[in-house]
Amino acid sequence: MLEIKNLHARIAEDGTEIIRGLNLTVKAGEVAAIMGPNGSGKSTLSYILSGREDYEVTEGEILYNGENILELDPAERAAKGIFLAFQYPVEIPGVATMQFLKVAMNEQRKARGEAELTTPDFMRRVKEAAAELKINPDMLKRPLNVGFSGGEKKRAEILQMALLEPKLCVLDETDSGLDIDALKIVADGVNALKSPDRATIVITHYQRLLDYIVPDTVHVLYKGQIIRTGDKSLALELEANGYADIIGEAA
Amino acid sequence: MAAVQETIDQVRQIDVDQYKYGFETEIEVEKAPKGLSEEIIRFISAKKQEPDWMLEWRLDAYRRWLTMEEPGWARVDYPRIDFNDIYYYAAPKTTSGPKSLDEVDPELLKVYEKLGIPLKEQEILAGVDKPRVAVDAVFDSVSVVTTFKKELAKAGVIFMSISEAVREHPELVKKYLGSVVPTTDNYYATLNSAVFTDGSFVYVPKGVRCPMELSTYFRINEKNTGQFERTLIIADEGAYVSYLEGCTAPQRDENQLHAAVVELVALDDAEIKYSTVQNWYPGDKQGKGGIYNFVTKRGDCRGDRSKISWTQVETGSAITWKYPSCILRGDDSRGEFYSIAVSNGHQQIDSGTKMIHLGKNTSSRIISKGIAAGVSQNTYRGQVSAHRKATNARNFTQCDSLLIGDRCGAHTVPYIEAKNSSAQFEHEATTSKISEDQLFYCLQRGIPEEAAIALIVNGFVKEVIQELPMEFAVEAQKLIGISLEGSVG
Ligand SMILES: Nc1ncnc2c1ncn2[C@@H]1O[C@H](COP(=O)(O)OP(=O)(O)OP(=O)(O)O)[C@@H](O)[C@H]1O
Ligand SMILES: [Mg+2]
C-alpha cells in the first residue's frame, strides 16, 4: 500500500536535510510502528507523507497504491485516504467541531465525486462515532481543539479518523497525554478501523500503546533513516535496553 | 512558509473581477444635468414635489457645504473628487414613485431578482408561516417599490420612501430629520442634506413590535451617478424594529460616490437593530473603479432604557469611510456595534464607531473584526467617551484583525475619553494571521485552501455573524467567502 524508496527531504526554508535516504514498506492490512529518539524525523516523515509544503523532497519517491503522490497537494492526498492524527492538534477558533467535521467529510466526498451527506445521516454518524470514543456530544459544539485538554484533543483526532474512514492512518504520538482509560478507548477506536484494505502507521515512544494496538512490524527511525526493522519483539527490546545498542550497530 | 507564500501569490492576483453583482441594466433614465448648484437642488426638490420647507432645508445645507472642506484625517488615499462631475439625480423613467409591484418595470424586477431579492416572492410568501421581510428597493436615486406596506400599516408601522414621507408625514419628518445628524455635521452629511434623493423612512409607534424585518436594497446603476440616500428610523416608546440594508453596484472603471446619511431615534424603552450588508463594487485588481462609500450613520438613544445596535458586514467599496455611532443620551441606554470589515485587492477601509455616553448607567459594547488581504488597508477607528454627568458608564471594546498575506495592513486607532471617574472602559485588541498550521491542518482533512480560508475566517467573525438576523447570516457568510475568493486559488 505504501512504498517509500530512498527518500531525502529537507526543510524548504533553510535547506536542512531531515530525512536522509529512508526506505519503508507498509502493506495493506498491516500495522507498522515507528519508534525513535526525539528529533529523529518521525513527525517530519508524517508531514511529508501528507504533503506539507514546508518540506522539499530532493530524492526518492513515495508510492501510495502504486501511484507517486509527491505531486499531489495535501487535500488531494486526504481525499485519496491519507489521514494524519497530529502530534499537536491545531486549534481553529470559532469553528464548531461539528461544523468542521461536516465540511471535511463533504469536501472529501466532493473530491471523490460522491454525494454530500444529508444532515440526518451526518448527525447519526457523528453521534455513533462519538459514543464509541466516549466523547461528550457537548464537546462537539465547541470550537475545534480550543480549550480541549490534551487527551480530548487526541480523542478528537481519532473521532475525525473514524468519520473520514481513511485507507492509510498515520498516528503521531496519539498516546501522549492520554490517561490509562483513554488510552484503551483510543486503541479500541483504532483497532475497530482495522481491515484488510487499511494500513496503520503508529508513531510512539512507548511499548504501552503497542500492548493495545499490536504492530505487525516495528521500525526504528534515527537521523532520518530506518536503521532497524523487526516484529513486535523489537519494541520490547527497545523498552528494556533503549536505543544505544541499535544506534551503535548502525553507526 | 510555502502554503502561506502561495496564498500571498494568489492574493496578488486577486480577482475582484469575480464581483458577482457587476452587471449593468439598460433602463431608460431621467437625469438632472451634471454638477451641483442651487438650480439642481431646486430641480431635485421639484421632481419630488417637496414642500417649501424641505427645499429651504436643502438650500441651507448647500450654502453651508460651500463653506466646508473635505476631511482628510482618515487613513484613506484617493484623488480629489470633482463634485461638479457627478449626476445628482437619476431615476428610471417608468417610475415616478413607488407603486404596487404590478406597475414596476419588469426590467427593474429582473435586476432585483439577479440580486437575489425576489420581490414578488416576498409578497407571495406573506401568507406562509416563515420569517418575512418587507423590502424597499432604491434604484439610483428613487425608491422603486415598497412591499408589505398594507400589512405594516395594519400594525401602525410606517415604512415608505423618504420622499413619500416628506409628503405624507411632514410633521414626523420635520421633527426628526437632521435631529441626529444635523445638516452642519460633516462635509459628506451636509452634502447629503442638500442633495439626498431617496431612502427609507420608518416609524414604529408606541409599544409596537414591528411584525417583520424591514429591509432596503440600494443599487447604483447609472454611470457617474452619486447615490445620496437618506434613511430615518424612529422607534417610539417601547417599540422594536429590526432593519437591514443591502447594497450593490455594477462594475465601472470610474469611481462612484455614495454619501448616505442614516439617522436612528429610539425613545424610552425602544430598541432599534440596524444591520448592513454592504457589497458595493470594490474596483478591479489594479484598483481601478469602485465605490467611494462616505457614510454618516448615527443613532440617538434619546429615551431612558433605549437600545440601538449596529451590525455591519462590509465587503465592498474601493474606499469605506463609515462610523455608525450611538449617542447614549437616555439613562440606562445601551449602544452596540458589531462589525466585520473585509478588505481585499486595493480596498481601503477606515471604519469604526463612536459611543458617546451622556446619560447615567449607560453601557456600550464594540466588537470589531477586520480581515485584510491583498494590498488593502483596514483601519478600525473608534471613540468611546463619557460625559461629566455620565456616572457608571461602561464600555467593552474588542478589536481583532486578521491578516492574509504580508502586503496588507491592519490598524487600530482608539480614542478613549472619560470625564467622569466612575466610567469603566475596557479595550482589547489583537492582530493575527491565518497560521500555516491551521491551513495545513484543514488541508490534511481534505478541505481545499479556499474553503479552508473561508472556514477559518468565518470562525474568526462568528461573534458578529450571530448578531445578524438569521435569514441574512448565511448570506453574509457566503459573501465573506466570495470577497476573499481572489485571495487564494
Ligand atoms: N519546520 C522546521 N523548521 C526547523 N526545524 C525543523 C522543522 N521541522 C523539523 N525540524 C527539525 O527536524 C528534526 C526532526 O523533527 P521531528 O519533529 O520530525 O522529530 P520527531 O522524531 O517527531 O521528534 P519527537 O519524538 O520529539 O516528536 C528536529 O531536529 C526538528 O527540530
Ligand atoms: Mg514528533
Is there a contact between A75 and B1 if contact means CB atoms under 8 Å apart?
Answer: no
Q: How confident is the model at residue B470 (pLDDT cuts 50, 70, 90)?
A: confident
Q: Of B250, B260, B259, B314, which Cα lies nearest the Cα of B283?
A: B250
Structurally, chain A folds into a number of domains equal to 1
The bound ligand whose nearest atom lies closest to the alpha carbon of A22 is 1
Higher pLDDT, B101 or B300: B300
CB B342 within 8 A of CB B311: no
Q: What is the CATH number of the domain that holds A165?
A: 3.40.50.300
Higher pLDDT, B141 or A69: A69
Pairing of strands B307-314, B334-343: parallel
Is there a contact between B462 and A94 if contact means CB atoms under 8 Å apart?
Answer: yes
Q: Whose CA is nearest to atom 7 of ligand 1?
A: A11
Higher pLDDT, B198 or B98: B198
Is the minimum CB–CB distance between A138 and chain B shorter than 8 Å?
A: no
Please, what is the average pLDDT of chain A? Answer: 94
Higher pLDDT, B408 or B393: B393
Q: What pLDDT score does B3 carry?
A: 36
Mutate which: B435, B439, B442, B488, vs A, most A CBs within 10 A: B442
Please, what is the average pLDDT of chain B? Answer: 82
Query: pLDDT per residue over B209-247, tens digit each?
Result: 998 888 777 666 555 566 788 999 999 999 999 998 876
Q: Which residue is closest to A103 within chain B, CA to CA? A: B447
d(CA B373, CA B405): 6
Q: Of B27, B136, B152, which Cα lies nearest the Cα of B90?
A: B27
Q: What pLDDT score does B461 carry?
A: 93
Q: How confident is the model at residue B132 (pLDDT cuts 50, 70, 90)?
A: low
- Cα A38 to ligand 1 centroid, rounded to whole Å: 8
Residues of A in contact with B446 (CB under 8 A): 75, 78-79, 104, 107-108, 111, 164
DSSP state of B258: E
Out of A12, A86, A94, name the one closest to residue B441 (CB): A86
- pLDDT over 60 at B12, yes or no: no
The string of DSSP letters for B22-84 reads -------EEEPPSS--HHHHHHHHHHTT--HHHHHHHHHHHHHHHT------SS---PPP-TT
The bound ligand whose nearest atom lies closest to the alpha carbon of A37 is 1
Dihedral of CA B445/B447/B452/B455: which sign? negative
Cβ–ligand 1 distance for A43 under 6 Å, the answer: yes
Q: Of B241, B242, B266, which Cα lies nearest the Cα of B335?
A: B266
Q: What pLDDT score does A29 carry?
A: 95
Q: What pLDDT score does A229 carry?
A: 95
Structurally, chain B folds into a number of domains equal to 1
Is there a contact between B446 and A75 if contact means CB atoms under 8 Å apart?
Answer: yes
Q: Which residue is closest to A166 within chain B, CA to CA? A: B445
Higher pLDDT, B402 or B478: B402
Residues of B in contact with A97 (CB under 8 A): none
* Cell numbers describing residue A152: 480530548
Q: What pLDDT score does B13 carry?
A: 37
Cβ–ligand 1 distance for A18 under 6 Å, the answer: yes
Query: pLDDT per residue over A175-220, tens digit each?
Result: 988 999 999 999 999 999 999 999 999 999 998 999 999 999 999 9
Q: Of B75, B78, B68, which Cα lies nearest the Cα of B352?
A: B75
Q: How many of the other CB atoms lie within 10 Å of CB of A73?
A: 16
Cβ–ligand 1 distance for A88 under 6 Å, the answer: no
List B313's β-bridge partners, or say none.
B277, B340
Q: How many of the other CB atoms lie within 10 Å of CB of A111?
A: 16
- Cα A22 to ligand 2 centroid, rounded to whole Å: 16
Q: What pLDDT score does B122 carry?
A: 45
Residues of B in contact with A113 (CB under 8 A): none
- Cα A201 to ligand 2 centroid, rounded to whole Å: 13
Is there a contact between B440 and A92 if contact means CB atoms under 8 Å apart?
Answer: no
The size of the A-B interface in CB pairs under 8 A is 82
d(CA A31, CA A199): 6
A58: distance to nearest CA of chain B, Å? Answer: 16
Least confident residue range of A230-234, B5-9, B57-61: B5-9
Residue range of the domain that includes A32: 2-250
- Tell me the longest C-alpha to C-alpha distance in chain B: 68
d(CA A125, CA B389): 59
d(CA A90, CA A99): 15
- pLDDT over 90 at B8, yes or no: no
Q: Which residue is closest to A111 within chain B, CA to CA? A: B446
Mean pLDDT over residues A81-88, rounded? 96
Cβ–ligand 1 distance for A12 under 6 Å, the answer: no
Give the Å distances, CA to CA, from B317 to A36, A101, B23, B284, B431.
56, 34, 16, 11, 23
Residue range of the domain that includes B164: 2-483
Q: Of B94, B20, B5, B69, which Cα lies nearest the Cα of B315?
A: B20
Closest ligand 1 atom to the C-alpha of A45? 18
Q: Which residue is closest to A79 within chain B, CA to CA? A: B446
Residues in chain B: 489
Is there a contact between B459 and A107 if contact means CB atoms under 8 Å apart?
Answer: no
Cβ–ligand 1 distance for A225 under 6 Å, the answer: no
Q: What pLDDT score does B78 carry?
A: 84
Dihedral of CA B430/A99/B340/B487: which sign? positive
Q: Whose CA is nearest to atom 29 of ligand 1?
A: A39
Out of A79, A86, A89, name the one closest to residue B446 (CB): A79
Mean pLDDT over residues B11-30, rounded? 49
Contacts of B306 by beta carbon, 8 Å cutoff, 6+ apart: B235, B266, B267, B268, B269, B270, B271, B330, B333, B334
Contacts of A83 by beta carbon, 8 Å cutoff, 6+ apart: A160, A161, A164, A166, A168, A169, A170, B444
State the virtual CA torsion across B64, B69, B71, B73 in degrees, nearest 10. Answer: -130
- pLDDT over 90 at A250, yes or no: no
Is B75 a domain residue?
A: yes
E runs forming strands in chain A:
2-11, 17-26, 31-35, 55-64, 67-68, 82-85, 168-172, 199-203, 217-222, 225-230
Give the Å distances, CA to CA, from B81 to A165, B186, B320.
59, 16, 15
Residues of B in contact with A91 (CB under 8 A): 438
Is B489 a domain residue?
A: no
Q: What pLDDT score does A227 carry?
A: 93
Q: Which residue is closest to B461 within chain A, CA to CA? A: A94
Cβ–ligand 1 distance for A42 under 6 Å, the answer: yes
Q: What pLDDT score does B299 carry?
A: 98
Q: Whose CA is nearest to atom 30 of ligand 1?
A: A39
- Cα A86 to ligand 2 centroid, rounded to whole Å: 9
Query: pLDDT per residue over B263-312, tens digit each?
Result: 999 999 999 999 988 877 788 878 788 888 889 999 999 999 999 999 99
Is there a contact between A92 and B3 if contact means CB atoms under 8 Å apart?
Answer: no
CB B313 within 8 A of CB B276: yes
d(CA A178, CA A88): 13
DSSP state of B371: E
Q: How confident is the model at residue B98 (pLDDT cuts 50, 70, 90)?
A: very low
CB B194 within 8 A of CB B58: yes
Query: How large a percentage of chain B has pLDDT more than 90?
Result: 49
Q: What pLDDT score does B146 carry?
A: 60
Cβ–ligand 1 distance for A54 under 6 Å, the answer: yes
d(CA A153, CA A145): 6
Query: pLDDT per residue over B305-350, tens digit each?
Result: 999 999 999 888 888 899 999 999 999 999 999 999 999 888 899 9
List B160's β-bridge partners, or say none.
B201
Q: What pLDDT score does A50 carry?
A: 96
- Cα A172 to ligand 2 centroid, rounded to whole Å: 7
Residues of A in contact with B444 (CB under 8 A): 50-51, 74-75, 78, 83-84, 86
Is there a contact between A103 and B455 if contact means CB atoms under 8 Å apart?
Answer: yes
Q: What pLDDT score does B11 carry?
A: 35
Nearest 5°: the CA angle A122, A124, A126 is 70
DSSP H helix total and E strand total for chain B: 13, 23
CB B448 within 8 A of CB A107: yes
Least confident residue range of A99-113, B33-47, B148-162, B171-185: B148-162
B297: distance to nearest CA of chain A, Å? Answer: 29
Distance between first and last Cα of chain B: 17
Query: pLDDT per residue over B55-72, tens digit each?
Result: 999 999 999 999 999 888
Cβ–ligand 1 distance for A40 under 6 Å, the answer: yes
Residues of A in contact with B455 (CB under 8 A): 92, 95, 99-100, 103
Residues of B in contact with A108 (CB under 8 A): 445-446
Least confident residue range of B111-120, B162-171, B288-297, B352-361: B111-120
Cβ–ligand 1 distance for A41 under 6 Å, the answer: yes
